[in-house]
A and B are shown apart, each in its own frame.
Chain A
């Protein structure tokens, strides 16, 4: 009897303590990708939690589109407050009314950013760079240009993305590298047909792109993200990340607010993320370029930063509309033996 009383009072104390803790701190749920992306989000999220006494929780998305699908599924009763995503995916989410508009007047901290990075429904945070990746120890030659992917010496040694990878950027890159663009895909499609004999396998996520190169399955990955490979680069490394001459394709990591019930604390986080300290910390882990002009990019990627005029501003309204059609073509012509 005595033991039951002791356990009951202990439980009661724990419940009261839990209630008082939850009452004292606001909660913010951040959705992000796993791996290095999670580490980066945790760095800024934990700093935010400490500064504002907010209980920050993290949820992981397998890929960008699955993250948006999650927002869509819980649209009636959102539990995710902040979604890390890409600008093109958040454009789509906004078109489906899945995001809470950013009240710029209520967030003076956003003045830290040039206005072009602050959109109605999301905030651009940093740029990540795309290029080709190869292993010096297994590749038969040093690759320097996109055209090298069609070299017959790479037969059975090449891994390339699916058409849907990174919102269709592989197809766009193929077009850009051959004088086309999202409105003129023919040069890119012809180029993809030329490299087809070299393809060993396809990958649909950036995580897979790293895995196929690291395991030695392929010697070359046709398109990779610098942030994923930066940790493998450096003096003496067998990995090479190349951004060939010509237009450069980037992806813009952005954040959107998904929960109207928690908009106030979400806006506070968005404001926090716009500051140079948070952007420097995040980019230091992710190896990306911050959009805040007062934030510093990490040393590891300084050599890769292209001149701003080389960065191609793709029209994702066109790409999102055309991608299903291009995907069908890719599956019939490229992703088939």
Chain B
């Protein structure tokens, strides 16, 4: 009995240490946001929430994160579904590609998107060469470019949680539905998809939070027009040494992000348990 307790404690200790570290980091962030020499404790928050320029960072961050989540989860679901239907060798190949994509250097990956979709990129040069367009189409340096970059980066986060749920759905359920005369589409929407919702939920949360905090992708693919909240925090903290203001922006975004995730998970749980 004693050894079992010691074993559990050993397992819990690292998790507790990580939580303590996170709590310390968050509390120091919060402390920085409310310490205003010669001003009210809420001065940074008032400035952040009272200026359209800064509120726009929040709107933009949530909008881009939402677009990214929808696109990544749809594409990710399709890939995860295909992974459950192909041979083990093909599945391994898809996993390897996703893992390589996950571990590739982000700046290189983003730069390759610029070389592909940029003004002078492969796509624009091809279209110009074919005479389909007169001048380059703007595929990056806007929200579309940032979303493409973020979907590309977050795809592994979307695929694996969904796949782990899909592969646990017994094939006998599909077979039973077919035996009873259900078409493939109906089987998917009435059997497979509802059972895969926990995986979809996990993907949504991970991809959304990942996109909300993205830094390099919006910086490089947004071309200065699509700076998200992380860019705001970086500029304020590093370039202007204004930690308090940077922290206030980060706290507001984190709080809203957690609220959104909480609301989503509550809705999802209701849907799953209904």
**Measuring CB to CB, which residues of chain A are less than 8 angstroms from any residue of chain B?**
65-66, 69, 72, 92, 96, 138, 156, 162, 164, 200-204, 208, 211, 215-218, 323-324, 327-328, 331-332, 335-337
Residue among A201, A211, A327, A337 with the most chain B CB within 10 A? A201
A66 partner residues in chain B, CB cutoff 8 A: 238
Whether, in the assembled complex, B98 has its beta carbon less than 8 Å from a beta carbon of chain A, the answer is no
Known: A156-B138, A201-B223, A215-B114. 18 other contacts (CB 8 A): A65-B238, A72-B241, A156-B135, A162-B224, A164-B240, A200-B119, A201-B141, A201-B225, A202-B223, A204-B219, A216-B119, A217-B118, A332-B53, A335-B224, A335-B225, A335-B227, A336-B225, A337-B142
Q: Contact at A204–B224, with CB atoms within 8 Å?
A: yes
Given contacts A200-B119, A215-B118, A217-B114, contact A69 B238 (CB under 8 A): yes
Q: Contact at A217–B238, with CB atoms within 8 Å?
A: no
Whether, in the assembled complex, B242 has its beta carbon less than 8 Å from a beta carbon of chain A, the answer is yes
Nearest CB of A to B226, in Å:
10
B240 partner residues in chain A, CB cutoff 8 A: 164, 323-324, 327
Q: Contact at B115–A201, with CB atoms within 8 Å?
A: no
**Measuring CB to CB, which residues of chain B are less than 8 angstroms from any residue of chain A?**
51, 53, 111, 114-115, 118-120, 135-136, 138, 141-142, 219-220, 223-225, 227, 235, 237-242
Q: Contact at B225–A217, with CB atoms within 8 Å?
A: no
Nearest CB of A to B269, in Å:
40
CA distance A335 to B227 in the complex (A): 10
CA distance A167 to B227 in the complex (A): 19
A-B pairs, 10 with minimum CB distance: A202-B224, A201-B223, A216-B120, A65-B239, A201-B141, A69-B238, A164-B239, A217-B118, A217-B119, A65-B238
CA distance A115 to B115 in the complex (A): 49
B227 partner residues in chain A, CB cutoff 8 A: 335
A215 partner residues in chain B, CB cutoff 8 A: 114-115, 118, 120
Q: Contact at A200–B141, with CB atoms within 8 Å?
A: yes
Q: Contact at A69–B237, with CB atoms within 8 Å?
A: yes
Nearest CB of A to B10, in Å:
30
A92 partner residues in chain B, CB cutoff 8 A: 241
Nearest CB of A to B228, in Å:
13
A sample of 26 inter-chain contacts (CB < 8 A) reads: A65-B239, A69-B241, A72-B241, A92-B241, A96-B241, A156-B119, A164-B235, A201-B141, A201-B223, A201-B224, A202-B224, A202-B225, A211-B111, A215-B114, A215-B118, A217-B114, A217-B118, A217-B119, A324-B240, A327-B235, A327-B240, A328-B53, A331-B53, A332-B53, A335-B224, A335-B227
